[in-house]
């Protein structure tokens, strides 16, 4: 078909939209009889009010009475949320319009029109498909993605998270057969909040709930509602719930709800009007749907602490389910799920891999298997080997190896001794973790790293923490011993050591001088959080000194250890210079002074640069 008719169609549709937009803007302005505020209140009390329309920030209240007549009244101040909620509680249907903002709208409409025309032209010319569709004019439409077919994933595809699944079974039952629950008069939670760090499978789990119940899954992200133009977010929320009502029974999933659900009124200035309105609309919608609507709203966040308390009240997100990073068994199960359909060599031991990846969440593990498959495919192999998986684990943790980075011989030597220092400390200190791998192949931002053989452990003893600090400081200590000079490569090590020392004193009550007192309150346990200081200047000074002393002690201790084991240090470092990487077994042999098998041929492949590497908090000790 020729192009011209499409642009014509777009123009017509654009004009139609304009007309529609103006009519929308006019709805509230429609004339109707003005009554006293007192009369309105009386009508309200008597249950005569059916529907009310207010405009945010406006004192005018319009509405419809039970007998179908319309009215307008004016309040002294714009009705606040509490008031609106009270009306809703009385069974009045409350609609909140975005504020008028004459000027804003004045310049907005032409812009909107032009934007829409261009959008429509583009849309139709690209798709070559006529007829208005959901996505053609979507400014105030929610960006919700609607899966009208139930998702294919079910609880079978979610590994671990047993408690969470158990809790969600009730919701699944309800969605499968809402009438049974309604007949019993049971109140089913409308909102479920999934709380947990990124990548643990919150979205995955929500999908699985829809998949289990075989209902549509309607998803939107909190950031979809955050817009520059006041009112747009609220309109999108309204649209989202309109969509949901059409597809009930269904699940509405709002990802990253903290983007809209932040505590109201905490910002400075008037900058968050838009977000407040969006949040208010969300609250109104959640309160608004009737008892026999089978919609369950699920939301995900990793910052439950910053959510507006109103969101967590009964009838809203009153059910919270925490999802944590998986433990070793969970990791193994997740690996098994994602290894389905991937050809694994006989030597692959997923249980062992799970042991070696503490701190990895579901998303990391999925990524790991994918990276391993890519590695195997690139080398034209038929099966994924354990070596691929190990390499993939390193990549996921530290980024790809930088084979192209050529270090000067001196840099390589320093790195080798530095990493050997970490490794020796991890090996010889009684409460340290042991060595999983040590390498001087640069990766990500690190010139080399020593990966401890760490197990999941929820309790850290004081002795283990002290050894941990000593291990972190050992790289620098080795440099000092061997080169009688130090380099900048230990920055990250110091940060780790200092953080541990400080927390031992201020949070974990592990310093005799300070006793079991919490000197800092962690407000936010996710994302590392920030501390609120609760002590005097003088105590602050004493803490600083104690941290310094503690670190100095550990530094001296580990330096003495390395001096004592100087021979072993040399041996490990020299072997590293020769082979670049030592596995746990190889390291053990070198420490014992046993010979190693001939090094396998140097790996020839060169790797393309990849995405920004990330470093796991509990991960390897990098640096050079």
Residues assigned a catalytic role: 419
Assess contact for 247 and 145: CB atoms under 8 A: no
Any contact of residue 301 with Mg ion (CB under 5 A)? no
Q: Which does 475 bind (CB under 5 to 8 A by kind): ligand ADP, Mg ion, Zn ion, none?
A: Zn ion
Q: Is 132 annotated as a binding residue?
A: no
Distance CA 250, CA 190 (A): 11
Q: Is 79 annotated as a binding residue?
A: no
Which range touches ligand ADP (CB under 6 A), out of 13-21, 155-163, 444-452, 611-619?
A: 155-163
Q: Which does 119 bind (CB under 5 to 8 A by kind): Mg ion, Zn ion, ligand ADP, none?
A: none
Q: Is 158 annotated as a binding residue?
A: no
| Binding pattern for the stretch 197-226 against Mg ion, x by CB under 5 A and - elsewhere | ------x-----------------------
Nearer to Mg ion, 195 or 384 (CB): 195
Q: Which does 230 bind (CB under 5 to 8 A by kind): Mg ion, ligand ADP, Zn ion, none?
A: none
Q: Least distance (Å) from ligand ADP to the CB of residue 185?
A: 34
Q: Is 106 annotated as a binding residue?
A: no
Q: Which does 306 bind (CB under 5 to 8 A by kind): ligand ADP, Mg ion, Zn ion, none?
A: none
Give residues with Cβ within 8 angstroms of 457, minimum separation 6.
none
* Residues in binding contact with Mg ion, number by CB under 5 A: 1
Any contact of residue 158 with ligand ADP (CB under 6 A)? yes
State phi, psi for 410 to the nearest 5 degrees: -65, -45
Assess contact for 87 and 94: CB atoms under 8 A: yes
Distance CA 20, CA 40 (A): 31
Assess contact for 511 and 550: CB atoms under 8 A: yes
Q: Least distance (Å) from ligand ADP to the CB of residue 159?
A: 4
Give the 3-state DSSP-derived string for 15-52, with helices as H, strands as E and coil as C: HHHHHHHHHHHHHCCCCCCECCHHHHHHHHHCCCEEEE
Q: Least distance (Å) from ligand ADP to the CB of residue 359?
A: 14
Which range touches ligand ADP (CB under 6 A), out of 154-162, 280-288, 571-579, 599-607?
A: 154-162
Give residue for tokens 């006793």: 515
Distance CA 298, CA 252 (A): 6
Nearer to Zn ion, 193 or 490 (CB): 490
Distance CA 446, CA 488 (A): 12
Q: Least distance (Å) from Mg ion to the CB of residue 195?
A: 12
Strand order in the sheet with 70-74: 70-74, 60-65, 49-55, 93-97
Nearer to Mg ion, 199 or 475 (CB): 199
Nearer to Mg ion, 276 or 366 (CB): 366
Any contact of residue 72 with ligand ADP (CB under 6 A)? no
Q: Is 195 annotated as a binding residue?
A: no
Nearer to Zn ion, 43 or 493 (CB): 493
Give residues with Cβ within 8 angstroms of 287, minimum separation 6.
85, 88, 315, 316
The SS3 of residue 74 is strand
Q: Is 197 annotated as a binding residue?
A: yes
Any contact of residue 211 with ligand ADP (CB under 6 A)? no
- Residue 77: both structure tokens together: 């101040």
Q: Is 493 annotated as a binding residue?
A: yes
Q: Which does 201 bind (CB under 5 to 8 A by kind): Mg ion, ligand ADP, Zn ion, none?
A: ligand ADP
Give residues with Cβ within 8 angstroms of 471, minimum separation 6.
422, 425, 426, 429, 432, 433, 452, 558, 621
Q: Least distance (Å) from ligand ADP to the CB of residue 570?
A: 44
Give residue for tokens 């249907």: 93
Nearer to Zn ion, 407 or 596 (CB): 407
Any contact of residue 254 with ligand ADP (CB under 6 A)? no
Q: Least distance (Å) from Mg ion to the CB of residue 12?
A: 40
Any contact of residue 331 with ligand ADP (CB under 6 A)? no
Rounded to 5°, the CA angle 357-361-366 comes to 85
Q: Least distance (Å) from Mg ion to the CB of residue 222?
A: 11
Which one of residues 337, 481, 520, 584 is an interface residue with ligand ADP (CB under 6 A)?
337
Nearer to ligand ADP, 364 or 479 (CB): 364
Rounded to 5°, the CA angle 359-363-365 comes to 65
Any contact of residue 159 with ligand ADP (CB under 6 A)? yes
Any contact of residue 251 with ligand ADP (CB under 6 A)? no
Q: Least distance (Å) from Mg ion to the CB of residue 360?
A: 16
Q: Is 436 annotated as a binding residue?
A: no
Which DSSP string corresponds to 442-490? -BTTBS-EEEE-----S---HHHHHHHHHHHHHHHHHHHHHHSS--GGG
Distance CA 244, CA 238 (A): 10
Q: Least distance (Å) from ligand ADP to the CB of residue 341?
A: 13
Tell me how far CA of residue 89 lies from CA of 83, 290, 455, 459, 591, in angstroms. Answer: 10, 12, 53, 48, 74
Q: Is 200 annotated as a binding residue?
A: yes
Which DSSP string corresponds to 235-266? HHHHHHHHHHHHH-SEEEEEETTHHHHB-TT-
Which range touches Mg ion (CB under 5 A), out of 62-70, 113-121, 196-204, 420-428?
A: 196-204
Any contact of residue 200 with ligand ADP (CB under 6 A)? yes
Q: Which residues bind Zn ion (CB under 5 A)?
A: 475, 493, 621, 623
Which one of residues 5, 47, 115, 198 is an interface residue with ligand ADP (CB under 6 A)?
198
What is the sign of the dihedral through the CA atoms of 25, 27, 28 and 31?
positive
Distance CA 496, CA 474 (A): 12
Q: Is 128 annotated as a binding residue?
A: no
Distance CA 28, CA 61 (A): 9
Q: Is 418 annotated as a binding residue?
A: yes
Give residues with Cβ within 8 angstroms of 267, minimum separation 6.
none
Q: Which does 493 bind (CB under 5 to 8 A by kind): ligand ADP, Zn ion, Mg ion, none?
A: Zn ion
Distance CA 145, CA 119 (A): 19
Applying CB under 6 A, the residues found at the interface with ligand ADP are 158-161, 196, 198-204, 300, 334, 337, 362-363, 366
Annotated binding site: 196-203, 418, 422, 493
Applying CB under 5 A, the residues found at the interface with Mg ion are 203
Annotated binding site for Zn(2+): 418, 422, 493
Annotated binding site for ATP: 196-203
């Amino acid at each position: 078909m020729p192009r011209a008719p499409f642009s014509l169609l777009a123009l017509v549709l654009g004009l139609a939209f304009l007309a529609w937009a103006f009519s929308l803007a006019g709805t509230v302005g429609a004339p109707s009889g003005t009554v006293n505020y007192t009369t309105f209140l009386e009508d309200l009390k008597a249950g005569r009010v059916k529907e009310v329309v207010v405009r945010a920030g406006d004192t005018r209240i319009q509405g419809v009475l039970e007998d179908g007549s319309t009215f307008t009244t004016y309040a002294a101040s714009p009705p606040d949320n509490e008031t609106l909620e009270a009306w809703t509680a009385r069974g009045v249907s409350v609609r909140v319009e975005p504020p008028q903002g004459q000027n804003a709208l004045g310049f907005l409409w032409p812009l909107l029109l032009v934007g829409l025309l261009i959008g429509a032209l583009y849309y139709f010319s690209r798709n070559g498909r006529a007829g208005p569709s959901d996505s053609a004019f979507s400014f105030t439409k929610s960006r919700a993605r609607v899966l009208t077919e139930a998702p294919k994933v079910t609880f079978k595809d979610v590994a671990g998270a047993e408690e969470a699944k158990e809790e969600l079974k009730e919701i699944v039952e309800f969605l499968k057969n809402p009438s049974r629950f309604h007949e019993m008069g049971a109140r089913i939670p409308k909102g479920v909040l999934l709380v947990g760090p990124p990548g643990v499978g919150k979205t995955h789990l929500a999908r699985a709930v829809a998949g289990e119940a075989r209902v549509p899954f309607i998803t939107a992200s909190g950031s979809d509602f955050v817009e520059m133009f006041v009112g747009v977010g609220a309109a999108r929320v309204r649209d989202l719930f309109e969509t949901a009502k059409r597809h009930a029974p269904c699940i509405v999933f709002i990802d990253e709800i903290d983007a809209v659900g932040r505590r109201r009124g905490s910002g400075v200035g008037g900058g968050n009007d838009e977000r407040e309105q969006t949040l208010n609309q969300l609250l109104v919608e959640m309160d608004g749907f009737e008892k026999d609507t089978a919609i369950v709203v699920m939301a995900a966040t990793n910052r439950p602490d910053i959510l507006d308390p109103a969101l967590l009240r009964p009838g809203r997100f009153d059910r919270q389910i925490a999802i944590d990073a998986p433990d070793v068994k969970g990791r193994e199960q997740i690996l098994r799920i994602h290894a389905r359909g991937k050809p694994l060599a006989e030597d692959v031991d997923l249980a062992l891999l799970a042991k070696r990846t503490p701190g990895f969440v579901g998303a990391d593990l999925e990524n790991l298997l994918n990276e391993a498959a890519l590695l195997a495919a690139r080398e034209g192999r038929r099966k994924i080997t354990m070596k691929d998986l190990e390499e993939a684990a390193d990549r996921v943790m530290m980024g790809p190896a930088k084979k192209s980075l050529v270090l000067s011989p001196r840099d390589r030597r320093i790195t080798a001794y530095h990493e050997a220092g970490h490794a020796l400390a991890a090996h010889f200190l009684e409460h340290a973790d042991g060595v999983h791998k040590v390498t001087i192949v640069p990766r990500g931002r690190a010139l080399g790293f020593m990966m401890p053989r760490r197990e999941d452990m929820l309790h850290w003893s004081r002795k283990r923490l002290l050894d941990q600090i000593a291990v972190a400081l050992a790289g620098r200590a080795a440099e000092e011993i061997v080169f009688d000079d130090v380099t900048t490569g230990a920055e990250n090590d110091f940060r780790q050591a200092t953080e541990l020392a400080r927390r031992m004193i201020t949070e974990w009550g592990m310093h005799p001088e300070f006793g079991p007192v919490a000197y800092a309150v962690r407000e936010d346990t996710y994302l590392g959080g920030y501390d609120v200081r609760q002590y005097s200047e003088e105590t602050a000074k004493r803490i600083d000194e104690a941290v310094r002393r503690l670190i100095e002690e550990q530094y001296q201790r580990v330096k003495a250890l390395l001096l004592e084991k100087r021979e072993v240090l040399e041996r490990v470092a020299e072997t590293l210079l020769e082979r670049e990487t030592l596995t746990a077994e190889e390291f053990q042999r070198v420490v014992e002074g046993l010979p190693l098998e001939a090094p396998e041929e140097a790996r020839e492949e060169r790797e393309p640069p990849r995405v920004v590497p990330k470093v796991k908090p509990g991960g390897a000790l990098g640096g050079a």
